[in-house]
Structure 1
């Protein structure tokens, strides 16, 4: 039995090598991305529901973007606080701001996809750039950087939605997990198998939305206006990435483990609706992560080939640390790598907890 476990451990390390070096290396080891500024008309779309405090701070930052031709489509999704009043004020203040008011609809009650659909239809420009109401761009060149990656063939651009750096270990966990997720979807996009994006920073041509009938195929799934859409619409030929620091968006992370755990439950539940191959590759990766922790414990407890086992452990941490370290440097998350082994163990068992929790109860979605 120990021999079987030993060879299984070798196989797990080999699988990890393929993921970290061969797949994730497509992002981590590549040359710096070149920007090709364009002047294509852009509609920036922001959906807000009870985001009074955030829209007051962040909408003016969007309006100050250094770009020659853009509009801001603000969607109020039946807010019950002062959000609508603020958005109406911005519409009067800025000539390029347009407001879409969404009233509660019995068939689409609290469904963000319905609100976004109305905003997309109202947008006057053919190229759409999305962010959330609690996000702000890292620079005045955000629109310029994201739009620079559009070409005749590349009509979907995946960006990086980061979280602010705050004191505490939870913040490092959140930012590391966000970075790792981005490394995954950036790398698979570079390989030609894009499977997700984040609504905090995402751009696509309007025709891509209508080519797949918008959100209709997953309208009843409350989450997934970003990743389920990309999973359906993105291909190796129409999708690219944008990872220049000026293209990042930032938002405030959760400050309690309970809030973050609830947020991650929503994200994980959505992944269950991905295409079969995407669910498979994600499942293989996370299973290999878990087995990498568990199998050597058994082998070392019985001192079975312990020198080889320790060597394999060191080898795995070496190539994983190099790949993620380079990627974290690109995404300005390098400080999280100092805690890599501890954060990784925490995330693996958190994912396991989320998996079993979601089996017995449904996560809460849009406000």
Structure 2
């Protein structure tokens, strides 16, 4: 029922043409669409009821992300409603509760600033937060910050003394500079620099030198939701390809009658179904046993990366020359797949985690 409701809304409010329109207008975010999602309760899918949310769980968040992936919706859903909401839930204080309420109401957009190099590796963060009286001074830069230009607040990972600390900062604080990154999928991303940015103890999310207690569950929630979105991208590309196979004719018959193309389409369908199962399992595991969900999450992200890559490559090839043109929507699916494959860990990153955990 949730999927059907989401599909009906998104087909009308955010088809692929909506993304094309934003790109052509030089925009990366639609506040009106985000407000509509908030009215439907999507922004509070992981926010506790006492903070104004729906608290439907990670499996539900994955369903929403998957439906968004089918039409390449541009929104800060994963960064805000999934990652930030999960991180804030790990902290039991009034400030976190207020932030969660802001997310549920659609009034606050968060970005996650963890990566500093070309690959996702939070544990290797080198940006420093140097003790300064009762607080800190944060200096350095973060790259590939999704939703970084639209965000009101940013979760920043920095090295403090003996470990890593997670800070929750407003993006308009003195010393924070944001510059837009140009990504092939035309979505919001930024490089953020921190020039001796002042942070107090109240800005620390969780405990000093213990960022991963808060951040790890949030990252895994985001990775599972991103895998679900990628599954939706694969499903959207597959559906578009099948329709083309039915309509395009050669030698007087639809090209979908050719056995070679039927075999390729059948193989792709099988891959999307197996991956959908892995994605659903990751969501269930996060809901039922989050402390032991790492294997399921990394397996889902790795499989989703493989499957969405296959889906968009097959889609472009089976569309022939038209699949390579900007006038046709298949290229948008390929671009989204490429960026999503890198965000929050690429195939190699998650395959290594799966391999390590299966040895234990």
TM-score (norm 2): 0.23
